[in-house]
Amino acid sequence: MDQNDVLKLENQLCFSIYAASRAITKVYRPFLERLGITYPQYLVMLVLWEKDKITLKDLCKKLYLDSGTLTPLLKRLETMDMVKRVRSSEDERVLCVSITDKGRNMKQEAIKIPECILGSLNTDVRALANLKNEVDQLLIDINE
Amino acid sequence: MDQNDVLKLENQLCFSIYAASRAITKVYRPFLERLGITYPQYLVMLVLWEKDKITLKDLCKKLYLDSGTLTPLLKRLETMDMVKRVRSSEDERVLCVSITDKGRNMKQEAIKIPECILGSLNTDVRALANLKNEVDQLLIDINE
DNA sequence: ATAAATTTAATTGTACACAATACAATTTTG
DNA sequence: CAAAATTGTATTGTGTACAATTAAATTTAT
């Protein structure tokens, strides 16, 4: 590859992933709008649908997001009555995030979304699964 | 796949790409910090290193970013004396973004970055090129 | 036990990201 | 040619992202 090509936008994997990430979020937007939540908020709900209750610290680790991002996001979800934020009685520093009934009920609506997304994309599911594995491997390589 | 699994975070390609995108930006950050620019600003400079002058509209199209994002970003780059923003004399609505000497000179520093990134990741270059193709295909599928 | 270090969450400040809107210039149409 | 539609950028408002700092509680070390 030419020395000059190294910098060319088209050759940059990072840009592709950056653009793909925003494009995917855009695909989700209209579906999530109906639920009244954003994509990062949806990720939080995905976690809580699997596990009723989780500490903020563990949530940060699971989503690779820091508390500065999640704190205001969770406060918005709390205002919408989707989650509850309670401090642990054992350790007052620890914040426990738990799902409300309203938040739990939303799962029934949300469960249709992944299929809708797959339908609107006309790609082979196998190819997507394969792509996911490769992206995950990259994530592992980045974090050593 | 189980009906419940559909919603599981681990199964979601979108989340992997979302997380990978942020992780990659994080890898770039220390290198770009030395140049005094952010990752999206670096993308703009990549375009201008290939093409001295471009309209805002074309820049938006190339980066898949809208003017609401690029306008303040370009103003910051202009303040740093990296780019110039001038209206076209033919059509006053058209904004021409061009690179300054200072911006052009930065290319010599920036040209080392991609190699540094590849070095810090210990992954096969072939695998990354392949991954890029697959992500690009997904982007095409999304935009039909 | 108590001072120092550590852990954890919240806060602050800067910078995207994008939908919605506003506005100005140009092009199209009747 | 004048009204309507379109085009292109800027502005506004909401919501992430994350580094840096602050503050509070716990743990460790003496």
Residue B118 has pLDDT above 90, yes or no: no
Is A137 inside any structural domain? no
Is A133 inside any structural domain? no
Is A32 inside any structural domain? yes
CATH for A31 = 1.10.10.10
Q: Which of residues 64-123 of B touch strand D (CB under 7 A)?
A: 67-68, 71-72, 85, 91, 93-95
Is A49 inside any structural domain? yes
Is A77 inside any structural domain? yes
Confidence of residue B3 (pLDDT cuts 50, 70, 90): low
* pLDDT value of position B39: 95
Q: What number of other Cβ atoms are within 10 A of residue B110's Cβ? A: 20
Q: Scanning every residue of chain A, which has its alpha carbon at the shortest distance from the alpha carbon of B142? A: A121
| Burial of residue A11, with CB atoms counted within 10 A of its CB: 0-12 exposed, 13-18 middle, 19 or more buried | middle
Q: Which nucleotides of D are covered by protein (CB under 7 A)?
A: 7-13, 15-20, 24-26
What is the total count of domains within chain A? 1
Percent of chain A with pLDDT over 70: 97
Residue from the list B15, B46, B134 with its beta carbon closest to the beta carbon of A7 = B46
Residue from the list B16, B49, B121 with its beta carbon closest to the beta carbon of A132 = B16
Question: What are the two backbone dihedrals, phi and then psi, of residue A101, each rounded to the nearest 5 degrees?
Answer: -60, -45
Residue B101 has pLDDT above 70, yes or no: yes
* pLDDT value of position A1: 61
Mean pLDDT of B111-136: 88
Chain-wide mean pLDDT for chain B? 90
- Yes or no: say if B44 and B77 are a contact pair by the CB < 8 Å rule: yes
Paired with B16 in beta bridges are none
Q: Does the beta carbon of A83 lie under 8 angstroms from any beta carbon of chain B? A: no
Segment among A25-39, B20-34, B110-124 with least mean pLDDT: B110-124
Residue A57 vs residue A91, higher pLDDT? A57
Q: Does the beta carbon of B10 lie under 8 angstroms from any beta carbon of chain A? A: no
Q: Which amino acid is at A19?
A: A
Percent of chain A with pLDDT over 90: 66
Is A86 inside any structural domain? yes
Is A63 inside any structural domain? yes
Q: Which residues 50-69 in chain B show a CB within 8 A of chain A?
A: 50, 62-64
Mean pLDDT of A57-61: 92
- B32-59: per-residue pLDDT in tens? 999 999 999 999 999 999 999 999 999 9
- A4-22: per-residue pLDDT in tens? 677 887 789 999 999 999 9
Is A123 inside any structural domain? no
Domain hosting A103: range is: 7-115
Q: Scanning every residue of chain A, which has its alpha carbon at the shortest distance from the alpha carbon of B51? A: A8
Continuous H helices in chain B: 13-35, 39-50, 56-63, 67-79, 101-110, 113-120, 125-142
